[in-house]
Amino acid sequence: MKKILFASTALVATAGVAAAEISFGGSANFGIMYNGSETIVKNEIDFDIKGSGETDSGLKFGASLDIDGAHNDSATTQSTVADPEVYIEMGGLKLTVGDIGEANDVGGISDVGFDGLGVDDVVDGLRENGNDDVRVDYSFGDIAVAASVDSANDEWAISASGSFGDFSVSAGYRDNANNGEGNHDDMNITVGYSAGAFGVSATYAEGGVDTDSPANGALDVTQKGYGLDVSYTQGDLTVVAAYAKNDTTGADAMGIGATYSLGGGAAIAGGIAEVGGETVADLGMTFSF
C-alpha cells in the first residue's frame, strides 16, 4: 500500500489533531474465463482511498472510498465510485456511517479461480440481502462483535466471531421483517480449522429468497444451504477445493483451484468448477498494491 503523509495543519484548520494520513491501495486481475458456452477475456481493478487521523485525546477517525472498474471482452465495461464510509474509533469500539457491509456478512467458504467461479455463491448468497448504513464494531482480544442497521427500512444485523488456537468460529443473523412477504430472516455460522499447511472450513446458512419476481424484492421463501472448503499450501502454491449445496432447491456446485505466488503482490491463479449444471473455468493473474 502506498502512503502519503501530510502535516495536520495542511488538512485541517482546527487544533487538537495529532496526525492525518491519506493512503492508497488496491488490487487488479486479468485473464480468460470459460462460462459454460464461450471463452471471454476479462479484467477488474479496485482502488481504495483511505484517510485517517487521530486527535490528541486518542480518538481515531477516517473515511474511505472505492474506485472499481471491470471489463469483459470488448462489449461490457463497468466503472463505479462506491462504498463511501466515515468512521470514528476509540478503545476497540468503532462507529461507521455510509455504504457499509452488513454485520452478518461473516464467515463463508472460499471460492476458486482467479476471479471467483461462483461455487461459494450457492450458500454464501443466501445471507446477502442487506443494504445497511450504520454499523458498530467492538473487538477485544481474538473476539469481535458487530451490529448494523438499515435506517431506511429498520432492518438490522448482528454477528460475533473469534479464534481459539487452531479453530475459528463466526455467526451472523439478519432481521428482514420489512423485506416483503413474511419474516424470512438470514442466519449463518462458519467453523474453521487451520494447522500448518492444512485448512478446512464448513458453513451453514439460511436466507430469505425472492422466487416471484426479481423486481419486487419480496422474500417469499426461506432457503437453506451448506458448504465446505479444504486448502493445502506448499511453499508458494496453494490448492483449494470447495463444495456447496442449496438444500432447498437441490442446486449444488463444486470446484478446485490453485494459486501460485510470484512475490511482490503478484500471483497466477485458476480453477475449474461445475456451477448450475455448467462446467466453468478460468486462468489469470492477480495483483495487490
Mean pLDDT across 170-177: 88
Structurally, the chain folds into a number of domains equal to 2
32 part of a folded domain: yes
276 part of a folded domain: yes
**pLDDT surpassing 90 at residue 26:** yes
Tens digits of residue pLDDT in 97-130 = 999 989 999 999 999 999 999 999 999 988 766 6
Residues 29, 251: Cα–Cα separation, whole Å: 29
176 part of a folded domain: yes
- Specify burial of residue 170 (Cβ count, 10 A radius: 0-12, 13-18, 19+): buried
Q: Does one domain contain both 151 and 211? A: yes
Question: Strands (DSSP E) along the chain, which ranges?
Answer: 2-6, 17-34, 39-55, 60-72, 76-90, 93-98, 134-140, 143-150, 155-164, 167-175, 186-195, 198-209, 221-234, 237-246, 252-263, 266-275, 278-288
Q: Does one domain contain both 139 and 281? A: yes
Q: Does one domain contain both 26 and 52? A: yes
Which of 39, 60, 88 lies at the terminal end of a domain, its last residue? 88
Least confident of 14-18, 20-24, 207-211: 14-18
Q: Does one domain contain both 166 and 268? A: yes
177 part of a folded domain: yes
186 part of a folded domain: yes
Tens digits of residue pLDDT in 199-231 = 999 999 998 766 554 544 555 678 899 999 999
Which of 35, 55, 88 lies at the terminal end of a domain, its last residue? 88
Which of 59, 88, 117 lies at the terminal end of a domain, its last residue? 88
Biggest distance spanned by C-alpha atoms of the chain: 62
Binned at pLDDT 50, 70 and 90, residue 18 comes out as low
94 part of a folded domain: no
**pLDDT surpassing 50 at residue 6:** no
What nine digits make up the cell of 267? 500471483
Q: Does one domain contain both 181 and 257? A: yes
Q: Does one domain contain both 190 and 119? A: yes
95 part of a folded domain: no
Residues 130, 102: Cα–Cα separation, whole Å: 6
60-72 and 39-55 beta bridge pairing = antiparallel
Yes or no: say if 95 and 87 are a contact pair by the CB < 8 Å rule: yes
Q: Does one domain contain both 134 and 250? A: yes
Mapped onto helix, strand or coil, the DSSP state of residue 97 is: strand
Q: Residue 239's CB: how many other CB atoms inside 10 A?
A: 16
Q: Does one domain contain both 41 and 121? A: no
Mean pLDDT across 42-48: 94
Yes or no: say if 259 and 12 are a contact pair by the CB < 8 Å rule: no
Domain range for 19 is: 1-88
- Give the dihedral of Cα atoms 107, 110, 116, 117; nearest 10 deg: -110
- Per-residue pLDDT at 128: 64
- Per-residue pLDDT at 153: 80
Q: Does one domain contain both 74 and 200? A: no
Q: Does one domain contain both 214 and 125? A: yes
Tens digits of residue pLDDT in 65-78 = 999 988 887 666 77
161 part of a folded domain: yes
Tens digits of residue pLDDT in 127-140 = 766 678 999 999 99
Residue 164's CATH number: 2.40.160.10
Q: Does one domain contain both 264 and 233? A: yes
Tens digits of residue pLDDT in 78-89 = 778 888 999 999
- Give the dihedral of Cα atoms 182, 184, 185, 187; nearest 10 deg: 160
**pLDDT surpassing 60 at residue 286:** yes
Cα distances from 144 to residues 59, 124, 160, 224, in angstroms, run: 20, 20, 6, 26
Q: Does one domain contain both 82 and 203? A: no
Residues 224, 208: Cα–Cα separation, whole Å: 9
Binned at pLDDT 50, 70 and 90, residue 8 comes out as very low
